[in-house]
Amino acid sequence: MPIHSASRSTRPPTVTSPGVAEALLGRPLPPIARRWSGVYAESTTGELVHRAAPDPLLWVVTGPGGRGMALCPALAEQTADQLGL
């Protein structure tokens, strides 16, 4: 059975199409228990990130707005440099 057919849709399937995932896994998908609302923390100052020290032993770094996994090594290095570590 092809992953998609003209009878199911006139558009090619996307990665999120249940039929594609089920075909790749060879089994039905489990029901969705909950969904994420898609809210990201973002800096409101125009900077890429917001760094704050609410306590001398605690630094908070936030704000890349969904780019954290890609940017975290560079942000960690910059933050360490700023702290003299």
- Residue-wise pLDDT tens digits, 52-63: 899 988 988 887
pTM tops 0.75? no
Model pLDDT for residues 34-73, shown as the tens digit of each residue: 887 777 777 777 788 888 899 988 988 887 777 777 888 9
Higher pLDDT, 9 or 83: 83
* For residues 9-31, average pLDDT: 75
In contact, 64 and 74? CB cutoff 8 Å: no
User: Residue 63: is it exposed, middle or buried by C-beta count within 10 angstroms (0-12/13-18/19+)?
Assistant: buried
**SS3 state of residue 51:** strand
Quote the domain boundaries for residue 25.
1-30
Residue 43, in any domain of the structure: no
Residue 67, in any domain of the structure: yes
Residue 39, in any domain of the structure: no
Residue 21, in any domain of the structure: yes
Say how many domains are in the chain. Answer: 2
Report the C-alpha gap between 80 and 85 in whole angstroms. 5
